[in-house]
Structure 1
């Protein structure tokens, strides 16, 4: 994997993304050449329109990222990728048509969009047909050796068996005579020279997956391996990188303290984040105010009670604030106290079910963003009653309040709707990853991927 602004991206995704961008520029150029020949016009020099080509390719590329074209399923299934590609191209063409209407260009006409769409679809599908098996081959998988044969080693094994994983385990080493979970693990005593063993296998990374490391680490061997250019990683850091979440099963305070993350440079990032929140929330409120008012009226007509729902939530540093949403439940929904939302929840009104599905009920939260109680991106704020219970049951739950809560977040795009303590635990792992590795780049990835969650609402309740 390549680490880009503290966030890990698989090599296959980087390669495919760069190749796609080049092909998108080619599609735009072919469309322009075809249209110019049809009307008997000199197409001109490429230097005259390269900016338009780059801009149009960037719009389509961002649309592809937004709808999940580079997700693990899309890299493995041509049918899945094709459906996402068609949606992405359609959204991008609409966006490009609006851009051309507002900013008339001499080298980019709406009349070329149809041809661009055809060439883009053809090139993207052909690209994936050619690279589908190649991207899943061992050429893009790191060769990993695991020190350990217990439960942690077994977890690495299960992760490595997933088709979308970016590594292949080439050997397991049993570092003690204890119970083995991975039966094929090689006893450490059977290997005379561990450094040469690693070199012969072509190992690029060694993962320390031992249950008990005290007096068990082969420090001399690890030092020799490290000096040969082989990366040595502990289990928690390895799982964080491969899964995009902090593993609570093996997490301890010392790892959080000494591992990379929570950098002081986020002061500048936080300032930029606040500027973006103010500008974006102002624009979004301006353009969506008619939508909010229309659905507020529909909520009033559909059921008795106020159109807007206000509830206390826990925000930055554990401070409470009043969250505003369009009401989607009956007014007596929480007469017995706050409850988890259930599938096909009978408390949800008819219009409420629709606005939850399409996330319209979340739009008034842009007011909370403008007021500084929330950000567009961050962990979802919970009610104080839930927070008190979860902090007593889940270790490190309070650490998620070290960043401002958001309308969307890393947990929201990676995990379905949670309605239990176990779901909260899973989402906490993603929230801690975000709090630890926050950068504006990660915010951009989350905002783009939120489009996918809106278009394909998984688990909305």
Structure 2
């Protein structure tokens, strides 16, 4: 972890300090967490390589456009990076609709629906984990459009890298349904859903442990299978 005075100015507030002091005492666990991320991401990339190739082929056959969807998100210390996902929507979907997905979104392709249902669209994020932009378990990264609405407390989630999964992801696995009938999906997300999700995210920082991370990974697999 960075020293307090080395954090971005916007993060140096009393709300963030509370969570910073908690994580500061768990520096060893955070170091082990990073080693786990590197080792497991390499192993999974090698083991899943044939599947990654097959999915790429299906995406190209199903619709025009690139195999990967790249989008600017925000991770540790408020740093921007490009998250990698298998493309599940028509090309340039982010330019013809909202940046949150609603149930029955017409922009989703046939292959995309299957990938989303099984969470396979997230597999390319193994490369984000390997480079250190993300971690297996942590707060899901938001786009700058939404992080500009973060409160002082919400910025505490930037003390750790953004995650592929989390307790929040499990609780809100059907988030698309919550936005199904929303007239303004962006407004509802910013004012209602995002603050509610942040309650879980901040609780997870307070309770952080390697065992809890492992338990979250297991719960995620179970949730996907269900």
TM-score normalised per structure 1: 0.41
Distance in 1 separating the partners of 2:23 and 2:65: 46
Give the CA deviation at 1:423. Answer: 1.4
From 171, 189, 192, give the equivalent of 1:414: 171
2:55 is aligned with 1:285: no
Out of 73, 83, 95, the residue aligned to residue 335 of structure 1 is 95
> Is 1:440 the equivalent of 2:200?
no
Q: Distance in 2 between matches of 1:366 and 1:274?
A: 13
Q: Note if contact 2:141-2:163 (Cα within 8 Å) is conserved in structure 1.
A: yes
Question: Is the 1:338–1:385 contact (alpha carbons within 8 Å) kept by the matching residues of 2?
Answer: no
| Structure 2, unaligned runs of 5 or more | 1-13, 180-188
Please show how residues 187-336 of structure 1 align to structure 2 within 5 Å.
257=18, 262-336=22-96
Matched, 1:357 2:114: no
Confirm or deny: 8 A CA contact 1:261 1:437 kept in the other structure.
no
Secondary structure at the aligned position of 1:341 is classed as coil
2:154 is aligned with 1:397: yes
Cα deviation, residue 437, structure 1: 2.0
Aligned to 2:185: none
- How many residues get paired? 200
State which structure, 1 or 2, has the greater radius of gyration over its C-alpha atoms.
Answer: 1
- Per the TM alignment, residue 263 of structure 1 is displaced from its structure 2 partner at its CA by 4.1
CA distance in structure 2 between the partners assigned to 1:273 and 1:280 by the alignment: 10
Q: Return the offset for 1:413.
A: 2.0
TM-superposed deviation, 1:426? 1.2
Go from structure 1 to structure 2 and tell me whether the alpha carbon gap of 1:343 and 1:436 turns closer, same or farther (over 3 Å shift).
Answer: same
Tell me, what secondary structure is at the counterpart of 1:262?
Answer: helix
Query: Contact 2:23–2:205 at 8 Å: present in 1 too?
Result: no
C-alpha distance in structure 2 between counterparts of 1:276 and 1:372, whole Å:
12
**2-side partners of 1:337 and 1:353: how far apart?**
17
Aligned CA-pair RMSD:
2.1
Identify the residue that residue 196 of structure 1 maps to in structure 2. Answer: none
- 2: CA distance, partners of 1:255 / 1:308: 34
Q: Conserved in 1, the CA contact under 8 Å of 2:15 and 2:153?
A: no
| Corresponding position: 1:449 with 2:209 | no
- After superposition, give the CA deviation of every residue in 1:416-435 in whole Å (9 maximum; x if it has no partner): 34352211111100110112
Distance in 2 between the 1:261 and 1:433 partners?
14
Whole-angstrom CA distance in 1 between matches of 2:15 and 2:127: 39
Match of 2:193 among 423, 432, 435: 423
Contiguous gaps of at least 5 residues in structure 1: 1-252, 457-461
Structure 1 residues 299 and 386, CA gap change in structure 2 (3 angstroms): same
Secondary structure of the structure 1 residue equivalent to 2:94: coil
Q: Please give the TM-score of this superposition, normalised by the length of structure 2.
A: 0.82
Contact 2:16 2:156 in 1 (8 A): no
Query: Which of the pair has the greater relative contact order for Cα pairs under 8 Å at 6+ separation?
Result: 2
- 1:375 paired residue among 135, 147, 151: 135
Which structure 1 residue ranges, 4+ long, deviate > 6 Å from structure 2? none
CA deviation vs aligned residue, 1:72-125 (integer Å, no higher than 9, x gap):
xxxxxxxxxxxxxxxxxxxxxxxxxxxxxxxxxxxxxxxxxxxxxxxxxxxxxx
Q: Deviations over 1:163-184 (max 9, x none)?
A: xxxxxxxxxxxxxxxxxxxxxx
**Whole-Å separation in 2 of the counterparts to 1:313 and 1:417:** 21
Cα deviation 1:315-339 (Å, max 9, x = unaligned) = 0010001111100001131115752
Query: In 1, distance between residues paired with 2:62 and 2:97?
Result: 24
1:384 deviates by: 1.1
